[in-house]
Structure 1
Amino acid sequence: MGTLFYGGKIYTMLKEGEHVESVYVEKGFIEDIGAEEDLRIKWGAEINKEVHLKGYPMYPGFVDSHLHLIGHGEKLLRLDLSQATSREDVLMRVRQKVESTPKGEWVIGEGWDENQWEDSSLIQYQDLDQLSTEHPIMLKRVCRHGLVVNGTALKIAGITAETRDPEGGIIQRDEAGNPTGFLADQAQELVTAHIPQVSEAYIRQALSVAIKDCVQHGLTGGHTEDLNYYGGFLRAYQAFQDVIHKEKQLFRAHLLVHHEAVDDMYTYVEEKKDTSAFIEIGPMKIFADGSLGSQSALLSFPYKSDPSTRGVAIQSLDELKQLVRKARELGMTVAIHAIGDLAFQYVVESIEQYPPQAGQRDRIIHAQILRKDLVHRVKNLPVVLDIQPRFLASDFPWVIEKIGEEHLDYCYAWKTLLDEGVMCAGGSDAPIEPINPMLTIHAAVSRKTSPNSSVVYIPSERLTVFEAVRLFTLGSAQAIHQEHKKGYIQKDYVADFTILERDLFEIPADDIPGVQVQMTAINGEIVYQK
């Protein structure tokens, strides 16, 4: 017995413009597609449920190829600073949180971005001390590659003028050499190591809230990296088991495993072997560099905004190669964060020396600052580039000031990559960027910071709507080497569908951010309906 979806334009995404009238689903898979009348004649006796699309368009289920699900849930639960428009606005919001938080407890905020303020000078520990010295305060920058803390948190962490920068991290200092309270990349761990461990109930709550938000935005799955931040691999992994399996919140979670959690993962999964169609263990996650906003993305040239630095190598080239080698010994692929061109070069060299097994694919995440020679090298590797087009809306125009206009030729170069035959998948990097895929699609198609803007950044790199939607369908399937069963609407593919209120292929590009989700279906079941 099965379900018939009909009554709307159903895009297969096999080729541009191709659509069918109806889809018949059994046991979570697409059994047949075609004209409604034909499917009713062929499957009439088996159809026990019908879903009338009421004229709304249906697409293969959108899958976010890079996010942090539990982190996204935390952003929804915690103090959200992503909409703060100034330093003063941030401090006002933190003050309100302090007033409602018992003395001695940590006050944690998420998502501030000084590049969105008129005065982009960073908050320092003294600013936060004026709000409270009786609470440790930690505010994470939007990129999560930097944070600022108050003096109380600095004392708890034992950070003084004598504290040396950890490998792969930066303690920002004033002219006298004293810490300002801002910590980048690995230096963040000096503070985060002292934050009390969250409860397992909190982890489950954050994950549950995140999945509910995802399906409301039309996402049927996500490739998520959470397994090294909540007290070890098992606590986070068990949350996925509890929420998706026991609580039956359907969602396809492909789990990236931080290299520091791989040994625990390997031991546990080999013993239990409890992965499923909804929870999959994916590649080893490695960080090669930091972020552009904190000037820790690793470049082959000095930052124009600060010629004294070229960024941070979180792993040296040799360390990176050894981690990739370890992944190969375990039979794993790798997913490596690389924003700067030198970090990307290190990753390419590592994969060239230690390629994945036949039939496997690695992925390089972000790939924002590239060079012509790197594009030519990577297109010959079994690699998918995991890109986040929404970064354009957040990073321009300030990124030009960071790296210099002379280095823009192969930056955020998604059209070039696709034209060169490089496979690309699309993600949000939530909670860094909003989870809504419509915002990512709009940024990829328009190359604008918002629908109201008239400025187009590097217009030659604009994608078509079809190419942009494919990042979330075929691209995400290619990233996990599952394009044989995901990413299209055709026979034997998973019955995951995203149904929107408007047809993305028939509306102006600047209308895309406002498009709402009507229904989300996973495994043939409606998990969200407006």
Structure 2
Amino acid sequence: MGRLWYNGSIYTMEHEDSITEAVYTESGWIKATGTKEMLEKEYQPAEEINLQGAAMYPGFTDSHLHMLGLGETMLSLDLSDITSATEMKQALQKRTESLKNGEWLIGEGWNENNFSDRKIFHRTELDEIAPNNPILLTRICRHASLVNSATLKKADITKDTTNPEGGIIVRDEDGEATGYLLDQAADLIKKILPPVKDEQLRTALRMAVSSMLEQGLTGGHTEDLNYYGSFQRTFRTFQDVINENGIKFRTNLLVHHGVLNDMKELGYKYGRIDDYLSFGAVKIFADGAIGGRTALLRSPYYDNPETSGVAIHSKDGLKHIVKEARASNMPVAIHVIGDLALEYAIEAIEEYPPPEGEKDRLIHAQITPPDLVERLQNLAVTFDLQPRFVLSDFPWVEERLGEERLHHSFAWKTLLDAGLDCAGSSDAPIEPVSPLQGIHAAISRKLPTDTTHQGYIPAQKLTRFEAVSLYTTGSAAAVGKENELGKIAAGYRADFTILEEDIFHIPLDSIVDVSIAGTVIEGEFQYDTAKEQRRK
């Protein structure tokens, strides 16, 4: 059944200010664009969708997040909005009131940089809050965790336990664990968590998909397959939920290198599974995060010269994993935040280039010095950027990096001007999954409430077109779908994000408040606030 979409500002994203009056879709594809009169005459559509003055864009896609993690956060104790140690203590105490003895207290998203005293809780303080419950609190960056004594005991972490490769058990002056675990050390706790039931996983994923559709997202590139018992179990969750009850959502599944062999042994291959599910690049962590001082830097942290961060893998170890990915004819997606981690990744990709026609992905890339940008221009890579990180990490990140490094940090404009492909994402649940918040952050580099602020490193601000491109053409290019997704043009998928207001022409700080009018995948509404009012 063919549909005609009209009476709105329809941005094709083929180039800046490219607008069409109407779009004709059929069987999930865009057949033509042009004037309403011309398309009606040529195609005689069975149904017409009156946009009623709304603005329509190619479907927004989040290029890097953790969908099951997002759903889990929605089901657990959310600490992301807490702004003081006292408030965090109160939230934990309140949660213990609803727990049975021995039941786990699990919280997500704490960020000590939002506290005036930057307090990091000690295990003994957590013992006082929950004397009868093991605690696991995951930091906003997901590269650090807090636990109490009961949890350390369950994990058999003692004074004699050595640091795991790529992780640090923070200790006091007597060598005892403080309860603060960095990067791979947190995996020692994840191994002893009570198993998540299948239905809990499905519920979490349903909630994540529903939330993303309500935020105007038509797709997401997600990394979850290594965290919930087994590759097969987690993948089956996506198979069960995506397309469930007719709900469509385009999902690209990054394959953590730890489960690459599992994928192959089960007979799966890189690429398309069906219209909505596909296996993506091999995910590799090269370092941690700036907040916990585990991002791997070329020179020490400005506010702690004793450390330069954590290498999750040695330089040769990283190269070996990339080589294994190439043996499977797959691109890689490498988490790199520090400049030394980025250098390691570049060397590995230079030595082992991606398969013909494929692009590797560099996730985060928060510190990009000029010499590395120059080398990157010779590689087939796409950057997965998180514009909201600017709002979360400044101004405290200046203390970590110092002024000199700051000039080439969070440098999204520099990357685009260098001709490098960039895609937009949230890294949810670390940041809100809203693409509008990401778009606003990329343009303004400040909170919408900071009316007099000029933005952090204002020279790196993106134009509105560049910011929207991150979530449309950029995300499509990241998975090699630039000829199928990301534009409103003949031959492209009929995936649309419909907004009640035109974000190219409203006051900048109003972008975050724009309502989602509809989310369309393959020409079908998956989320629609107007329902039948638009149809005739």
Normalized against structure 1, the TM-score is what? Answer: 0.98
Task: Show structure 1 runs of 5+ residues with no match.
Answer: none
Q: Counterparts of 2:271 and 2:253 in 1: how far apart (Å)?
A: 14
C-alpha deviations, 1:313-362, integer Å up to 9, x for none?
00111010000000000011000000000000000000000001111100
Task: Show structure 2 runs of 5+ residues with no match.
Answer: 530-536
Per-residue deviation, 1:50: 2.0
Q: Counterparts of 1:271 and 1:373 in 2: how far apart (Å)?
A: 36
Q: Which residue of structure 1 lines up, in the alignment, with residue 512 of structure 2?
A: 513
CA change 1:450–1:115 in 2 (3 A) is farther
Q: Counterparts of 2:270 and 2:369 in 1: how far apart (Å)?
A: 44
Moved more, 414-423 or 95-104: 95-104
Per-residue deviation, 1:449: 3.5
C-alpha deviations, 1:294-321, integer Å up to 9, x for none?
1000000100111100000001110100
Secondary structure of 2:94's counterpart equals helix
Contact 2:22 2:34 in 1 (8 A): yes
Per-residue deviation, 1:372: 0.4
Contact 2:272 2:279 in 1 (8 A): no
Q: Counterparts of 1:216 and 1:271 in 2: how far apart (Å)?
A: 31
The amino acid that maps onto 1:38 is M
Q: Which residue of structure 1 lines up, in the alignment, with residue 248 of structure 2?
A: 250
Q: Which residue of structure 2 lines up, in the alignment, with residue 284 of structure 1?
A: 282
Q: Which residue of structure 1 lines up, in the alignment, with residue 305 of structure 2?
A: 307
Per-residue deviation, 1:271: 8.9
The ranges of structure 1 where at least 4 consecutive aligned residues each deviate by more than 4 angstroms after the TM superposition are 271-274
Contact 1:451 1:511 in 2 (8 A): no
CA change 1:304–1:261 in 2 (3 A) is same
Per-residue deviation, 1:513: 1.3
Per-residue deviation, 1:467: 0.1
Alignment of 1:480-491 (within 5 A): 480-491=479-490
Q: Which residue of structure 2 lines up, in the alignment, with residue 428 of structure 1?
A: 426
Q: Which residue of structure 2 lines up, in the alignment, with residue 95 of structure 1?
A: 93
Q: Counterparts of 2:75 and 2:389 in 1: how far apart (Å)?
A: 23
Q: Which residue of structure 2 lines up, in the alignment, with residue 148 of structure 1?
A: 146
Secondary structure of 2:505's counterpart equals coil
Count of residue pairs the alignment pairs up:
528
Alignment of 1:60-459 (within 5 A): 60-270=58-268, 275-455=273-453, 456-459=455-458
C-alpha deviations, 1:143-162, integer Å up to 9, x for none?
00001011100111111222
Per-residue deviation, 1:451: 3.4
Per-residue deviation, 1:58: 0.2
Per-residue deviation, 1:177: 1.8
Q: Counterparts of 2:197 and 2:271 in 1: how far apart (Å)?
A: 25
Contact 1:394 1:449 in 2 (8 A): no
C-alpha deviations, 1:164-189, integer Å up to 9, x for none?
11110011112222111010100001
Q: Counterparts of 2:324 and 2:60 in 1: how far apart (Å)?
A: 32
Per-residue deviation, 1:452: 2.1
C-alpha deviations, 1:54-108, integer Å up to 9, x for none?
1000000000000000000011111100011111111111111111122211110
Per-residue deviation, 1:453: 4.8
Contact 2:253 2:280 in 1 (8 A): yes
The amino acid that maps onto 1:91 is K
Q: Which residue of structure 2 lines up, in the alignment, with residue 42 of structure 1?
A: 42
Contact 1:396 1:449 in 2 (8 A): no
Per-residue deviation, 1:121: 1.6
Contact 2:271 2:278 in 1 (8 A): no
Secondary structure of 1:411's counterpart equals coil
Q: Which residue of structure 2 lines up, in the alignment, with residue 529 of structure 1?
A: 528
Per-residue deviation, 1:235: 1.0
The amino acid that maps onto 2:385 is I
RMSD of aligned alpha carbons:
1.3
CA change 1:5–1:379 in 2 (3 A) is same
The percentage of counterpart residues that share the same residue type is 50
Q: Counterparts of 2:235 and 2:525 in 1: how far apart (Å)?
A: 25
CA change 1:168–1:360 in 2 (3 A) is same
Q: Which residue of structure 1 lines up, in the alignment, with residue 15 of structure 2?
A: 15
Q: Counterparts of 1:266 and 1:316 in 2: how far apart (Å)?
A: 25
Secondary structure of 1:130's counterpart equals helix
Alignment of 1:488-503 (within 5 A): 488-503=487-502
